[in-house]
A and B are shown apart, each in its own frame.
Chain A
Amino acid sequence: MNKLKHLCVIGAAVLPSAAALAAPSATTHTAKPAPPAAIKTLHPNFALLDAQGTNVLTSGQAVSPMKSCGQCHDTAFIASHSFHVDLGLQSFGSWNKTWHSSPGLFGQWDPLRYRYLSQAGDERLDLSTAGWLMLNGDRVVGGGPATTSRGGKPLTTLKPGAGDPETSLLAANGARTAWQWAESGTMETNCFLCHLEKPDLAARKAAIRDGRFGDASTATLSGLGIVQAAAQGWAWNRAAFTTEGLIDSRKLAIQDPTNANCAACHGEVHEAGDQPLQISACDLDYPQTATTGQVMAAQRMSASAVNLAGKGTLQRAWDVHAERQLQCTDCHHALNNPAHVNDAKGSNPAHLRYDPRTLDIGKYLERPDHNFARGQSAQVHVAPKGKGTMRRCENCHDASASHGNWLPYVETHIKTLACESCHIPKMHAPAIEAVDWTGLAADGQPAKSCRGVDGEPGDVRSLVTGFEPVLMKRTQIDGGALLAPYNLITTFYWVYDDARSGKRPVRLADLRAAYLDGQAHAADIVAAFDSNRDGVVAADELRIDSPQKEAAVKARLSALGLKNVRMEGQVQPFSINHNVTRGKFALNDCAACHRNGSRVDQGMQLAGFAPVTPGFDTANNVSASGDVVRRSDGSLHYRPAPVRDAVYVFGASRIGLVDAFGALAFVGTLLGVSGHGLMRYLAWRRRPHVPLQTRPVQMYDAYRRFWHWLQAISVLALLFTGLVIHRPDIFGAISFPATVTLHNVLAAILVINAALSLFYHLATERMREYIPRPYGFIDDSMRQTKYYVSGIFKGEPHPFEKRPDDRMNPIQKLTYFGILNVLLPLQIVTGALMWGMQRWPEAAAALGGLPLLGPAHSLLAWLFGCFIVGHVYLTTTGPTPLEGIRAMVTGTEEVEVHEQAPGH
């Protein structure tokens, strides 16, 4: 062992210098670019060992990656520190008391693929461990459930038995047979799958499908000229090895995993530069793309081979990070990788920005933690210990630097919306919408619908229109909640009650037996479903849309011995985190969310037809607070209700009652003053015109006029800008972000103005003028009221003389007292908290948050509007209609001369 480690170290020192010596000298310049240099690898040559530890050249057996790579790397550590290997095995059990038996791929029932990993005690066998491996094995790394039993023992030590789901297999004819692990071998953790440049996935898949698990790792090496399948075992090519019997590392081309390696299991990644991208749409062999429409490619969408709608305008790359040459491992890195370690959340003291004490690279290479950093997707229970360890947007990008100059309320947006909500505005590849396993077509396939494409997904002529993801609230592990984009996939299926284990999905084998008779539908099924009597059950007839059809299928299923058969459905959210775009192509138009019918409450179709109303899969961190709505054409839609998630969006959210009441009050005030004014005019016409005796009085000093008009203009502008913000769809021509900024500027001016004025009045004791004297207040108010109600029409003089130090009549004093001490402060406080959502979120939340503050602010605004109308009207009750306004502009007022005693 030590000697090989020596070799590694020497190799690490020698190889770079060898590379330097071999540096290319000036070459002949031709029109073509210089040919690529031969692939160099830092990895030393090493012996390929079989499971017993013998060199494969000697034994001719299958290679064991654990033993071969284990010569330098601690493969036992790697295999035990990797969720890709474990797949939930360590938490296997009756997990959550549902039909899921683990949080991972091995044990979670995936309604999309439908086959069920049977648990011990289930009366029927669907997938045994071997069956599960044969079906899913090409997306399984090896190790974990592929080598170890649910009880923690090696699979090869289990006694084969047809009754044990770990050591049996469901044959094609429905019989349960024993599975001989000793013969088939088990799949070790296959390092080659991710660490080779060209792992032979097809050969590996073939070996796994055949059940030859022990050959899977060796099959991965096919095509490199190292090994070939022989009649018995494997034929190793001596020429590919050095004279010492070590494999030439350059032949293997060992490397860090690239996007192509991840794509082998996860989904659509397009590496080849100029070749136009093609998509296999809604194909579960590319799971990431099929479930979400995500395509990781650096190519421009307009240069791809996909029949995209509006392709000429889609001149951006599918994913900006792929374009910028980021690899999956740049964000989903190994958790103890010293190059990334300071991003992992640690417990550094508050003052420490960077801790240089990291793992030595050599030690890291010996024991790399294969638990990769992961985010907080909807598949939240997978790899629970790794939740939220991933580098997120904010670890690399500074949002305030890039959004600060054009987005008002930057922090509020960042706290409410995940970056993806705006930076993944649309998915341009089709994704699965619904899979209906309640009915099988004649070929045994369920009805599958694909969103984002007009026509058949596999047909190159179909138009790919893409789709806009739905925004739903995601609860982060730190407790915060953000709106993030999701695709919703709805599945419908039959379930039954297993005698001992509870609810189970009906096995595919049973569903087939119920629906099909050989290669065609059974006669009973045809009789029940064939509505146009043409002898064939077409796709649109296959729907269970009547009680008779349901009963027919139920009967067939019950006849197979299944108890309590019924239909169920679930809606699963799938996170969308890739296919990010630059700001230029993101949602940067305020109107995307801040208007009626915006992205925030835009839902999506769940299924074109739903035999039963599905429930939401709640075993995740997504809040499905919206409504599942069935439309008249039978389709099922999801309609988000952001208000239930305490999301209040200016311009989009509103309480209709508040607006209705406010508008009514405003219109009522308008009508009132118009009526009063009309009556005054008519009365004035009928009266003899006696010129009123007035004398000029210095009523308002400069400061008072200034602060009054500043206040007036601010309030009027605030009301108008507030209305634009509240109803941006009516005022579409006016720039929303500019209006928000103006509103905030005016609000600040208003507050400062009001504060200075308050100080002035308190300091000069002029506040007295605003306070109604309690003694005789009611009588004086009645006198004033009587004046307004009858005296004014008769041309009577004002009951109270207006003096510079006593300018307001009792009703005025009361009104202003209310306005300035109740309405204005409330409006200021609600407004300040709405603005301050980003700075003092606890204070805002304590008072109800935006859903309460917003409508309160709107209601008060309506009341202010009424006040303005009344106030302006009442200024016309002076000696002449415009005298009041003129006085407030110039400062000098023509006051009626009074004989009556002043004061009240």
Chain B
Amino acid sequence: MKNRFPRWVFGLLAIGTLVLVPFLYLKPTSTPARQAASHLPIKGAHVDHRDIVKGDFKTGPDVTRACLACHKDAASELMKTTHWTWESRAVNVPWRKEAVTIGKINQINNFCIGAQGNENKCMACHAGYGWEAGKAAQQSKPENVDCLACHAEAAIYNKGLFGNPAPSTDLLAAARSVRATTRENCGKCHFDGGGGNGVKHGDLDESLYFPGRSLDVHMGGKHNMQCSDCHVARKHQILGLMLADNYTIDPAEQVSCEQCHSGKVHQDERIGTHLKAVACQTCHIPAIAREEPTKVAWDWSKAGRKGREDDHYSYLKIKGEFSYEANFAPAYRWFNGNNEYRYLLGDPISRDGPTHINKPAGAIADPNARIFPFKVHTAKQPYDKVNGYLLQPITAGANGYWTNFNWDQAFELAVPVTGLAYSGRYGFTETVMYWASTHMVQSADKALSCDACHSATGKPGRMDWAALGYPGDPIKWGGRKLP
């Protein structure tokens, strides 16, 4: 009967609005739920390759050719990345006229020192085969890409000399086992860097294969995150750059907590006031090398002594004397993500104090810098007494130091490989290297609390305020004043 819209509906709507609007404006708010897990990358479904991969594989490149038959772009993608090139992009550094590249391929560190000329041993951690042919030949062939190192079941695939598969490896079984990368794949190289479990990084070691929640909140417990969940890979370009092998790092290429943890992550406003000066890692990584010890000092000068017994944790004839530590507090420095200095082959050593292999950039007045935890590794490594630069010995191979225990020979053999002249006189000098600690993250209940760094009575905590540039404990003196 009424063929027009009943007008009383407007009245009803008006009443509804009148009631709801003030209520919604005034009603008590509730806190939003955490959504970090929603930012995890979505991975493709696993495709079982057991029926797909056929054939007899005699060499590593054989397998790669089979992979490339379907995954046509995989090799070319990988060959653009640092896992293949082992060097950074060219960068300009203030102390050199030309641009330089930094990487394991051409620079040194203060662990095993350098890979150049030691390819037969060192390339066991390269994602490629065929280093026996020399660098130019190796790097130019797509079939030298080692797909299995990252994609095969880590337990059944091992690499040997020159990056080639170990002789006992069943390549067919390995090829059939391929799947998305797991911690086992990444850890095979990254947990054992520096020549053994946990030697190098301090926050990456074999305890992360089966971590508990209290070892790492992401990789342990119910989340069981894989490396690729944070180090997201697109077209084989893996997110994340190592401080050791770079000068400046673009934040867009670096893994950061904010990839998943964005917004108001701390309910406690007092913690919120720290975020401009303190990195997430500082409070959430109270200790490094929590379960397995890491190497903190390495004295090459003691290597080669006769009659001294080898012991994994204190002395090896081939390597010298060293010390390990476990579950200790990291060192804290201002850090804005870059290096202030990275030792390049041929750079002069420091004459007052240790030579920095790398030095994190940042200072109290740098608004981009935050206090960040580092593992510090000091070493005594060889240098050229006349030329005044660090030397890279040939250690592996038939004529290397590890066979002949002859430093001079080791340095002579390196001359054509590294391009560094050797004067014939060597010595040992102190070096120091900084490794950013960013794994073995703790959940909120195990993170640092106020009294770890601050103290009302002035007792020293883990922060050396004076070294960081503060006049004293910021609780009493106030925080840094940025320009």
Interface on A for B, CB 8 Å cutoff?
Answer: 23-24, 26-34, 36-37, 255, 258-260, 271, 273, 298-300, 302, 315, 317, 323-327, 405-408, 582, 584, 702, 705-706, 709-710, 713-714, 717, 735, 737-738, 741-742, 744-746, 748-749, 889-890
Interface: B267 (CB within 8 A): yes
Interface: B445 (CB within 8 A): yes
Interface: B462 (CB within 8 A): yes
Least Cβ distance of A498 to chain B in Å? Answer: 49
- Report chain A residues within 8 Å CB of B464: 33-34
User: Who on chain A is nearest to B325 by CB?
Assistant: A31
- Report chain A residues within 8 Å CB of B455: 325
Given contacts A34-B467, A406-B29, contact A709 B19 (CB under 8 A): no
- Enumerate B431-452 residues with CB–CB distance to A below 8 Å: 432, 444-445, 449-452
Which of B5-13, B46-54, B121-129, B397-405 contacts the other chain? Answer: B5-13
User: Who on chain A is nearest to B445 by CB?
Assistant: A315
Whether A406 and B15, one on each chain, are in contact in the complex, defined by CB atoms closer than 8 angstroms, is no
List 29 interface pairs A-B (beta carbons < 8 Å), by A numbering: A26-B467, A27-B467, A30-B331, A30-B376, A31-B297, A31-B328, A36-B460, A260-B457, A298-B449, A299-B451, A302-B445, A317-B449, A324-B270, A325-B450, A325-B451, A325-B456, A326-B456, A327-B457, A705-B8, A705-B11, A706-B11, A706-B15, A735-B28, A741-B28, A745-B22, A745-B23, A745-B26, A749-B18, A749-B19
Whether B26 and A741, one on each chain, are in contact in the complex, defined by CB atoms closer than 8 angstroms, is yes
Interface: B354 (CB within 8 A): yes
Q: Which of A29, A36, A324, A741 has the most CB of B within 10 A?
A: A29
From B8, B375, B461, contact of A889 by CB (8 A): B8
Q: State in angstroms the CA–CA spacing of A895 and B459 once bound together.
A: 90
Q: State in angstroms the CA–CA spacing of A240 and B453 once bound together.
A: 33
Least Cβ distance of B313 to chain A in Å? Answer: 15
Whether A408 and B28, one on each chain, are in contact in the complex, defined by CB atoms closer than 8 angstroms, is yes
- Report chain B residues within 8 Å CB of A327: 456-457
Whether B19 and A323, one on each chain, are in contact in the complex, defined by CB atoms closer than 8 angstroms, is no
Assuming A31-B325, A31-B375, A260-B457, what are 10 further A-B pairs, CB within 8 angstroms? A29-B432, A32-B328, A33-B460, A33-B463, A323-B451, A325-B450, A325-B475, A710-B15, A713-B19, A742-B27
Q: State in angstroms the CA–CA spacing of A710 and B475 once bound together.
A: 56
User: Who on chain A is nearest to B352 by CB?
Assistant: A26
Interface: B329 (CB within 8 A): yes
Q: Which of A28, A31, A32, A407 has the most CB of B within 10 A?
A: A31
- Enumerate B349-380 residues with CB–CB distance to A below 8 Å: 353-354, 375-378
From A23, A31, A299, A746, contact of B19 by CB (8 A): A746
Whether A323 and B449, one on each chain, are in contact in the complex, defined by CB atoms closer than 8 angstroms, is yes
- Report chain B residues within 8 Å CB of A407: 28
Closest 8 CB pairs of A and B: A315-B445, A36-B460, A325-B456, A298-B451, A34-B464, A406-B28, A737-B28, A31-B296
Whether B452 and A273, one on each chain, are in contact in the complex, defined by CB atoms closer than 8 angstroms, is yes
Interface: B386 (CB within 8 A): no
Q: State in angstroms the CA–CA spacing of A325 and B297 once bound together.
A: 35
Interface: B265 (CB within 8 A): no
From B376, B378, B452, B456, contact of A258 by CB (8 A): B456
Interface: B466 (CB within 8 A): yes
User: Who on chain A is nearest to B443 by CB?
Assistant: A315
Least Cβ distance of B297 to chain A in Å? Answer: 8
User: Who on chain B is nearest to A330 by CB?
Assistant: B456
User: Who on chain A is nearest to B375 by CB?
Assistant: A31
Q: State in angstroms the CA–CA spacing of A702 and B297 once bound together.
A: 89
Whether A709 and B15, one on each chain, are in contact in the complex, defined by CB atoms closer than 8 angstroms, is yes
Least Cβ distance of B432 to chain A in Å? Answer: 6
Interface: B454 (CB within 8 A): yes
- Report chain B residues within 8 Å CB of A582: 268
Q: State in angstroms the CA–CA spacing of A744 and B23 once bound together.
A: 9
Whether B449 and A584, one on each chain, are in contact in the complex, defined by CB atoms closer than 8 angstroms, is no
Whether B378 and A30, one on each chain, are in contact in the complex, defined by CB atoms closer than 8 angstroms, is yes
Chain B contact residues: helix, strand, loop or mixed:
mixed
Q: Which of B267, B461, B464 has the most CB of A within 10 A?
A: B464
User: Who on chain B is nearest to A891 by CB?
Assistant: B8
Interface: B260 (CB within 8 A): no
Q: Which of B449, B450, B466 has the most CB of A within 10 A?
A: B449
Interface: B275 (CB within 8 A): no
- B 158-189 to A, binary, CB cutoff 8 A, 1 in contact else 0: 00000000000000000000000000000000
Whether B331 and A741, one on each chain, are in contact in the complex, defined by CB atoms closer than 8 angstroms, is no
Least Cβ distance of B110 to chain A in Å? Answer: 13
Q: State in angstroms the CA–CA spacing of A36 and B455 once bound together.
A: 13
Q: State in angstroms the CA–CA spacing of A405 and B30 once bound together.
A: 9
From B29, B268, B331, B353, contact of A33 by CB (8 A): B331
- Report chain B residues within 8 Å CB of A27: 467
Least Cβ distance of B53 to chain A in Å? Answer: 47
Least Cβ distance of A728 to chain B in Å? Answer: 15
Interface: B14 (CB within 8 A): yes
- Report chain B residues within 8 Å CB of A298: 449-451
- Report chain B residues within 8 Å CB of A742: 23, 27
User: Who on chain A is nearest to B330 by CB?
Assistant: A31
Whether B444 and A315, one on each chain, are in contact in the complex, defined by CB atoms closer than 8 angstroms, is yes
From B11, B19, B456, B467, contact of A702 by CB (8 A): B11
User: Who on chain B is nearest to A325 by CB?
Assistant: B456
User: Who on chain A is nearest to B456 by CB?
Assistant: A325
Whether B445 and A584, one on each chain, are in contact in the complex, defined by CB atoms closer than 8 angstroms, is no
Least Cβ distance of A147 to chain B in Å? Answer: 30
- Report chain B residues within 8 Å CB of A748: 22
- Report chain A residues within 8 Å CB of B14: 706
Whether B11 and A745, one on each chain, are in contact in the complex, defined by CB atoms closer than 8 angstroms, is no
User: Who on chain B is nearest to A714 by CB?
Assistant: B19
Whether B268 and A31, one on each chain, are in contact in the complex, defined by CB atoms closer than 8 angstroms, is no
Given contacts A315-B444, A315-B445, A327-B456, contact A584 B267 (CB under 8 A): yes
User: Who on chain A is nearest to B473 by CB?
Assistant: A325
Given contacts A31-B296, A258-B457, A406-B28, contact A323 B450 (CB under 8 A): yes
Least Cβ distance of B344 to chain A in Å? Answer: 21
Q: State in angstroms the CA–CA spacing of A299 and B450 once bound together.
A: 9
- Report chain A residues within 8 Å CB of B460: 33, 36-37
Whether A325 and B23, one on each chain, are in contact in the complex, defined by CB atoms closer than 8 angstroms, is no
Least Cβ distance of B436 to chain A in Å? Answer: 14
Whether B456 and A405, one on each chain, are in contact in the complex, defined by CB atoms closer than 8 angstroms, is no
Q: State in angstroms the CA–CA spacing of A28 and B27 once bound together.
A: 58
Least Cβ distance of B126 to chain A in Å? Answer: 29
From B267, B353, B467, contact of A24 by CB (8 A): B467
Q: State in angstroms the CA–CA spacing of A23 and B472 once bound together.
A: 12
Q: State in angstroms the CA–CA spacing of A582 and B268 once bound together.
A: 8
Whether B457 and A405, one on each chain, are in contact in the complex, defined by CB atoms closer than 8 angstroms, is no
Whether A31 and B376, one on each chain, are in contact in the complex, defined by CB atoms closer than 8 angstroms, is yes
User: Who on chain B is nearest to A261 by CB?
Assistant: B457
Q: Which of B267, B331, B354, B463 has the most CB of A within 10 A?
A: B331
Whether A709 and B267, one on each chain, are in contact in the complex, defined by CB atoms closer than 8 angstroms, is no
Whether B331 and A23, one on each chain, are in contact in the complex, defined by CB atoms closer than 8 angstroms, is no
- Report chain B residues within 8 Å CB of A271: 457
Q: State in angstroms the CA–CA spacing of A32 and B329 once bound together.
A: 7
Q: State in angstroms the CA–CA spacing of A23 and B470 once bound together.
A: 12
Least Cβ distance of A889 to chain B in Å? Answer: 5
Whether A29 and B376, one on each chain, are in contact in the complex, defined by CB atoms closer than 8 angstroms, is yes
User: Who on chain A is nearest to B328 by CB?
Assistant: A31
User: Who on chain B is nearest to A32 by CB?
Assistant: B328
Q: State in angstroms the CA–CA spacing of A889 and B267 once bound together.
A: 50
User: Who on chain B is nearest to A313 by CB?
Assistant: B445
Whether A710 and B18, one on each chain, are in contact in the complex, defined by CB atoms closer than 8 angstroms, is yes
From B6, B18, B375, B454, contact of A325 by CB (8 A): B454
Whether A273 and B267, one on each chain, are in contact in the complex, defined by CB atoms closer than 8 angstroms, is no
Q: State in angstroms the CA–CA spacing of A407 and B27 once bound together.
A: 9
User: Who on chain A is nearest to B270 by CB?
Assistant: A324
Whether A33 and B18, one on each chain, are in contact in the complex, defined by CB atoms closer than 8 angstroms, is no
Whether A31 and B331, one on each chain, are in contact in the complex, defined by CB atoms closer than 8 angstroms, is yes
Whether A738 and B28, one on each chain, are in contact in the complex, defined by CB atoms closer than 8 angstroms, is yes
User: Who on chain A is nearest to B20 by CB?
Assistant: A745
Q: Which of B378, B451, B464 has the most CB of A within 10 A?
A: B451
User: Who on chain A is nearest to B15 by CB?
Assistant: A710
Q: Which of B19, B27, B267, B354 has the most CB of A within 10 A?
A: B27
